[in-house]
Structure 1
Amino acid sequence: MGQAATQPSTNWHLKENAREHHTSKFSGDELVVRRGQAFTVTFSGTEQPEQNLIFIAETGPKPSKATKTLATFGISSTASTEGWSAVLQSSSSSSVSISISSPHNAVIGRYRLSVQSTASGSPSTARLGTFVLLFNPWSSGDDVFLPSQAECEEYVLEEFGIIFAGNKDHISGFGWNFGQFQGDILDICLSIMDRSLYYRQDPVTDVSHRHDPRYLGRVLSAMVNANDDQGVVLGNWSGTYEGGKNPTSWTGSGEILQSWKKSGFKPVRYGQCWVFAAVLTTVLRCLGIPTRTITNFSSAHDADGNLRVDEFYDAEGNHLERGADSIWNFHVWNESWFTRNDLGPSYSGWQILDATPQEESGGIYQCGPASRNAVKEGEVDLDYDCPFVFAEVNADCMYWNYDSATGKKTLILSKSTEIGASISTKAVGRDDRVDVTRDYKYEEGSTKERDTFKKARKKLGLEDKFDPTAPTPEEIEQKPDISGKFKVAGSLEVGRDLNLLLVLANLQPYPKTVDVKMTAWSTLYTRRPVREIWKDSISVTLSPKEEKQFPIRIKYNEYQQQLTTDKTIQVTAICHVEDGIQVLVQRNIALDNPAINVQVLGEAKVNKEVDVEVVFTNPIDTEVMDCVLQVEGSDLLTGILELRIPPLKASEKSSTKFKLLPSEAGPKHLLVNFSCDKFPDIKTFKMVNVTN
């Protein structure tokens, strides 16, 4: 390389380049630019004609031209679209200004830039410094190109998101601060890539693949969970969260990623599906891959890959944990936007990635990218993990009665329309829910949907196999004599009694006697039963074609101690019909928290303090203690504000005030999380319009 010259002073034109490259929101004094687009650099200390300058851009541990991690290029008259190039902007006796362009498919990451000069006969090399290169959804040559400006702003630049939860009968949403531009989040995202198993096994090959969003999406889906590596978040679905934070208490990704770094890259405790999806959103948006969170209601976890989910109940109506299949009230994953050069244009667009560790893929807990188009069409033989995602939204559901004494199981009913409902994501530019179910499957119950299901089974070789656990045609054909359902009567709020109606109807023209065994269990959102809350039984005779209603009341003091922080209850009635087949009636109930009210007192202006008031009224007739208010919001507050609040007596109202100091104009979101011993994690968000 010759002798090292004196260190030139480099002007990276941070403001102008950032504006052109949509990277102004990154803080810090390192240049952050997007690939396939020119940026300007000015440097001094060269006393020779600029045509003798050679630039070297390199990334990764062993840069080479073969792996496309090293580029050397001189000054040319026009920018190249194929490789790296430099075009002279201006020069004087003391400095040179050049415009550097990277190719559309450049490896992303941190680059070292040097300049070599041969003017004085012996070559000398000077380091100009480092810059970070990201994906470029604004550039039509990039694999992540997203033609809509509004979608680029939402899926790459927006730091606030809404994640939908609850269940299909009762959808709720909570705010999340992705915070992809906060402090050192970009550095943390780069170090996540460098800690992956792929990098540790073969760093050179791993870095050379970082031009490909498909490759990186898969690697990062593995790294956000901590199952195989020193990943970011450790999952916990036990219902007890000692030694860490309850997954429901997080309000943003920043705190999680910072904790991971601060602890010396030890997994952060604890996460559940929405935490994994939200952190993956942050990482991918930070790197420039358009990404959103998707919530699927009544989501199947098909552990044995037969596109069927089996649920077992005993004669008393208790939900049994048998087998590894399950149906979650909801499950959150990601969609990222990029082309699938490996599958062809009809499978490009939204790709499903899932960082929640559910099943191994290629020996690692990673999932995707599965093309959403492939899932909809039942093309389950395409990469990656299409059968698993197809089952999540479209498996058939079998409900069995299991007798532990004899080991005998009897099919109660099968449903093909139960799984994959109200698939939801946040609207572009608005705080609304958009239903994308039709993008995942044809209309439930339509012939097209059934044909697609059969096609998927055929591709997986399931259609002809004899399955000893499958129901016989006679079992499926049996028609029940009665029908039943649970109706909600009144509000579904923690702190209030739960009022339901069991509605039973005799479908026959002759009387029917029915013995009903009812149970209510507190569950996790994965529907795993945790504690029994209540049980009862009734015996009734229904006249021909008669419908009867039976009121059920579960008092707050009966369920309060048993409730999990997921605030979900499963109510089940097994109806033993005289001379007929059993009927299963069930309902999953998601309770709402009491309300908290947030008011901005005055006008929110850039760099001017403004007061906010949060009001909470204790709705129950006992005192609530350990009250804590947590507040965060990008461009409104630095970090997380935590305020302790004195205990509140029955029906007492608390008012808490604090100040915001907005740093940027535009619509911003304030996230508020109120916790106490009786109501953990009451969340709300408030849109704050900041003016200059």
Structure 2
Amino acid sequence: MGQAAAQPSTDWHVKENGRDHHTSKFSSKELIVRRGQAFVITFNGVEQPEQTLTFIVETGPKPSKQAKTQATFGISSTVSKDSWSAVLQSTSSHSVSVSISSPPNAVIGRYKLSVQSTSTGSSSPETLGTFVLLFNPWSSGDNVFMPNKAECEEYVLEEFGIIFAGNNYHINSFGWNFGQFQADILNICLSMLDRSLNYRQDPATDVSHRHDPKYLGRVLSAMVNANDDQGVVLGNWSGNYDGGKSPSSWTGSGEILQSWKKSGFKPVRYGQCWVFAAVLTTVLRCLGIPTRPITNFSSAHDADGNLRVDEFYDASGNHLNEGADSVWNFHVWNESWFSRSDLGPSYSGWQILDATPQEESGGIYQCGPASRNAVKEGDVDLDYDCPFVFAEVNADCMYWSYDRATRKKTLLFNKSTVIGQLISTKAVGRDDRIDITSDYKYEEGSKKERDIFKKARKKLGLEDKFDPTAPTPKEIEQKPDISGKFKMAGPLEVGKDLNLILVLKNLQSEVKSVNVNMTAWSTVYTRRPVREIWKDSLSVSLSPEEEKHFPIKISYAEYQQQLTTDNAIEVTALCHVEGGIQVLVQRHIALDNPTIDIQVLGEAKVNEEMDVEVVFTNPIDIEVKDCVLQVEGSDLVRGILKIDVPPLKAKDISSTKFKLTPFETGSKHLLVNFSCDKFADIKAFKTVKVID
């Protein structure tokens, strides 16, 4: 018997391959490469390397050539465009260097690589080890190819993002650490795929579909929420977050994904739309699909699929939770970039995915990918979930007065231009907001936009049906006798009194008597009323064409206990005009938290300690307690730094100093979140330039 050949040892050239494949940010010892591109490995322990070598790559539980989860290939003289291939780079007495290429539509995931040397007769293949294959937006053959390099950098490699929130009167924003290259995140993303319902039902078939970004995007939009599959994040919109973390307290996806894994894959409590969207951004960027979070203001949730949203109010002006439709102050979803061979080239480009569990699609809570071009053109008959997304940005809004005792409802007014405003995302390479509303719809109120709306209704078979809940032409034609609006008079800040002015104007040439019922409620950002803050009424007589102003003050003491962590208040005035139709005046208010200031003291250098100071001034006349500062930032902090801050008396200034040691050069973002008993989750971020 001859001596057994030594087990081959493999040099994966992780550093060089990582540089060539844009994967060097991963903190992994394992080789991570992108499909459709060559990578070099060197191995030894093979006798007579110039003899014929055969390589085997396989992925998934039942690798097969038919399912494209296994491939066998020898050494060839040139790279193959559409299959796995190996080209000899160099040989020495005991080692071989080969350049291995995968096809641009290869299944992504973790592969085992083996080699068989046919010179030794029928020897069994020797395992060289494992590597991970990802999507490749830099390769023109890949479905996710993105020709613009700056966009690739932003939508695949950037770990910092900005999420826009607030409402369409008042946009605010906060930073988020996607952290897709943090330790173990890639493994967690791959295990998410292996925990999906599709994988549990038929693992081999599921893995064979993992070459397709639209398949993967849809599966992951289901896995990021916990609704059907013990996915990552459990949603909660109640305003009460006991037993978990308030959705507004998170500052990055890393902590959420790590907690999910550490708990044995129990859903992490709690998330709302931006948390679902941010986690999905992390997972898709990690796997190589260009992705960004998108915020839509005055976003419709059309539960019954008729492209209309119905809102109900009682005689006092209280917003009622009748019906399942709603309008959210804002809603955050994702766009991912890939081609749509199933729909044709005009529908390629940005695709909408939404991991927030709102409506079931195909029996489970998942949404998309809906082609953004299809949404703009009203092609709502195309896959996937186009009508739902179309309604989010372009539904018509109906406002009804509803009497619970008689169940009678009266249309107050309808609006076709309030839904889907200021659709926002972060600019490429800058911390600015860009408005992409015109990518979702034609100019609001234009003939083209109305024609598209009619086309969408027609495609859904809504245009000819008799709809008993639809307003009659008579209802729509009724013109109100007065107009009303709320104007803000003063700052919109938590801790300060809220000053508004109700402006009423008589539109007629005779005197009008008006009784006004006013209410203010704290809400969550989905506009669901949580607690009543204030109510008042007034009677007024308006001379012909007269305009009157009524100042309203809601003190901090009145709203302080009632506010949710969303800092959102809805104020309504229902005006009963004698002998005329009711007029509803409403205003959604987003209050700003007080600010915190981050100072970096001195220069930021790699592997050198630096000092950071965070300053907060208590703006109110009461002591604030239970103060905690949370700090994170890719390449600046490993994990999350939590610092307890002493209580702070009225109007006092607190200064918290701590040290950091940056471990990578470049432009980095430090994120801080300050919480106390009176203010939830005050966020700020600072760009830190780290030098050698």
TM-score (norm 2): 0.99
**Structure-2 residue corresponding to 1:346:** 346
Assess if the C-alpha contact under 8 Å between 2:292 and 2:425 holds in 1: yes
* Matched residue SS, 2:525: coil
Distance 1:49 1:604, change over 3 A: closer
Separation in 2, partners of 1:120, 1:253: 50
| Compared CA separation, residues 60 and 485, structure 1 to 2 (3 A) | same
- Residue deviations 1:498-556 (CA, integer Å, cap 9, x gap): 00000111111221111110000000000000110000001111111111110000000
**What SS class does the counterpart of residue 604 from structure 2 fall into?**
coil
How far did 1:133 drift?
0.1
- Sort the Cα spacing of 1:4 and 1:549 in 2 relative to 1 into closer, same or farther, 3 A: farther
Equivalent residue for 1:460? Answer: 460
* Residue 203 (structure 1) aligned with residue 197 (structure 2): no
Q: Distance in 2 between matches of 1:4 and 1:652?
A: 76
Q: Distance in 2 between matches of 1:306 and 1:224?
A: 27
Q: Which 4+ runs in 1 deviate beyond 2 A?
A: 3-6, 120-124
User: Which residue of 2 is the match for residue 296 of structure 1?
Assistant: 296
Secondary structure of the 1:154 match is helix
Distance in 2 (CA, whole Å) between partners of 1:297 and 1:403 is 29
1:153 Cα offset (Å): 0.3
Q: Does 1:557 align with 2:557?
A: yes
How far residue 50 of structure 1 moved from its aligned partner, in angstroms, is 2.9
1:313–1:401 CA contact under 8 A, matched in 2: yes
Deviation at 1:122, TM superposition (A): 3.0
Cα distance in 2 between the residues matched to 1:377 and 1:170: 29
Aligned residue for 2:496, secondary structure, equals coil
- Between the aligned partners of 1:342 and 1:31, the Cα distance in structure 2 is 32
Partner of residue 251, structure 1: 251
Correspondence 1:208-607 to 2 at 5 A: 208-607=208-607
Check the 8 A contact 2:48/2:94 in 1, yes or no. Answer: no
For each residue in 1:353-383, what CA deviation from the matched residue of structure 2 results, as whole angstroms up to 9, or x when unmatched? 0000000000010000000000000000000
Amino acid at match of 2:688: V
Q: CA deviation at 1:404?
A: 1.2
Preserved CA contact (<8 Å) 1:374 1:386:
yes
Q: Supply the distance in 2 between the matched residues of 1:125 and 1:143 (Cα, whole angstroms).
A: 33
Preserved CA contact (<8 Å) 2:621 2:650: yes
1:474: how far off?
Answer: 0.3
Q: Helix, strand or coil: the match of 1:98?
A: strand
Distance 2:297 2:361 in 1: 23
Which whole-Å CA distance do the structure 1 matches of 2:547 and 2:600 have between them? 51
The CA distance in 1 between the partners of 2:601 and 2:4, in whole Å, is: 60
**1:535-582 alpha-carbon deviations (Å, 9 max, x no partner):** 000111111111111000000000000001110000000001111111
2:68 counterpart residue number: 68
Task: Indicate conservation of the 8 Å contact 1:12/1:31, yes or no.
Answer: yes
Name the CA distance, whole Å, in 2 between partners of 1:404 and 1:351. 42
Change (3 A) 1:142 1:317: same
Deviations 1:29-66 (A, max 9, x none): 00000000000000000112434110000000000000
Q: Which residue identity is paired with 1:368? A: G
Aligned equivalent of 1:43: 43
Question: What SS class does the counterpart of residue 557 from structure 1 fall into?
Answer: helix
- Partner secondary structure for residue 175 of structure 1: strand
> What SS does the corresponding residue of 2:93 show, helix, strand or coil?
coil
CA distance in 1, matches of 2:50, 2:557: 81
Residues 4 and 126 in structure 1, CA contact (< 8 A), matched pair in contact too: no
- CA change 1:396–1:5 in 2 (3 A) is farther
1:597–1:616 contact (8 Å) kept in structure 2: yes
* Cα distance between partner residues in 1 of 2:255 and 2:666: 24
Of stretches 355-364 and 4-13 in structure 1, the one that deviates more from structure 2 is: 4-13
Conserved in 1, the CA contact under 8 Å of 2:51 and 2:119? Answer: no
Is 1:637–2:637 an aligned residue pair?
A: yes
SS of structure 2 residue aligned to 1:451? helix
Q: Deviations over 1:404-463 (max 9, x none)?
A: 121100000000001000000000000000000000001111000000000000000000
| Whole-angstrom distance in 2 between the partners of 1:49 and 1:23 | 30
Q: Counterpart of 2:613 in structure 1: which amino acid?
A: E
Q: Tell me the amino acid that sits aligned with residue 460 of structure 2.
A: L
TM-superposed deviation, 1:186: 0.3
The size of the alignment, in residue pairs, is 690
Partner Cα distance (1:24, 1:444) in 2: 45
The superposition leaves residues 156-203 of structure 1 with CA deviations (integer Å, 9 ceiling, x where unpaired) of 000000000000000000000000000000000000000000000000
Contact 1:51 1:75 in 2 (8 A): no
For the residue of structure 1 that corresponds to 2:120, the secondary structure is coil
Deviations 1:601-627 (A, max 9, x none): 111111111101000010000100000
| TM-score of the pair, normalised by structure 1 | 0.99
3-state secondary structure, aligned to 2:346:
helix
1-side partners of 2:584 and 2:121: how far apart? Answer: 89
Q: Deviations over 1:222-249 (max 9, x none)?
A: 0000000010001111111111110000
Change (3 A) 1:405 1:460: same
- Provide the identity percentage: 82
The residue that corresponds to 1:622 in the other structure is 622
Distance apart, 1:123 and its partner CA: 2.5
CA contact (8 A) 2:38 2:100 kept: yes
Amino acid at match of 1:113: L
Find the aligned partners of 1:192 and 1:141 in 2 and give their Cα distance: 26
Corresponding residue of 1:175: 175
Q: Secondary structure at the match of 1:200?
A: helix
TM-fit CA distance, 1:4 = 8.5
Between the aligned partners of 1:502 and 1:50, the Cα distance in structure 2 is: 87
**8 Å CA contact 2:54, 2:115 repeated in 1:** yes
The 1-side partners of 2:467 and 2:331 are apart by: 28
Gaps of 5+ in 1: none
Q: Given that residues 5 and 46 in structure 2 are in contact (C-alpha distance below 8 angstroms), is that contact kept between their aligned partners in structure 1?
A: no
Deviation of 1:5 (Å): 5.1
What runs of 5+ residues in structure 2 fail to find an aligned partner? none
Corresponding residue of 2:79: 79
Q: In structure 2, what residue type is equivalent to 1:492?
A: L
Counterpart CA distance in 2 for 1:585 and 1:82 is: 62
Deviation, 1:121, is 2.5
Give distance in 2, aligned partners of 1:163 and 1:404: 39
Match in the other structure for 2:679: 679
CA distance in 2, matches of 1:614, 1:487: 35
Tell me the SS of whatever aligns to 2:456. Answer: helix
Residue identity matched to 1:518 = M
Q: CA deviation at 1:395?
A: 0.4
Does the CA-based 8 Å contact 2:299-2:328 persist in structure 1? Answer: yes
Q: Which residue of 2 aligns with 1:193?
A: 193
Residue pair 1:4, 1:124 contacting (<8 A) in 2 also: no
Aligned equivalents of 1:7, 1:349: Cα separation in 2: 47
Q: CA–CA distance in 1 between the matches of 2:227 and 2:49?
A: 56
Q: Within 1, Cα distance between the matches of 2:29 and 2:406?
A: 71
1:110-149 C-alpha deviation (Å, 9 max, x unpaired): 0000000121223232110000000000000000000000
Alignment root-mean-square deviation, CA = 0.8
Q: Secondary structure at the residue paired with 2:75?
A: strand
Distance in 2, matches of 1:406 and 1:58, equals: 67
Match of 2:30 in 1: 30
User: SS at 2:688's partner residue?
Assistant: strand
How much has 1:6 moved relative to structure 2? 3.4
1:16 CA drift (Å): 0.3
For 1:259 and 1:674, the matched residues in 2 are separated by 21
One-letter identity of the residue aligned with 2:365: Y
After superposition, give the CA deviation of every residue in 1:337-363 in whole Å (9 maximum; x if it has no partner). 000000000000000000000000000
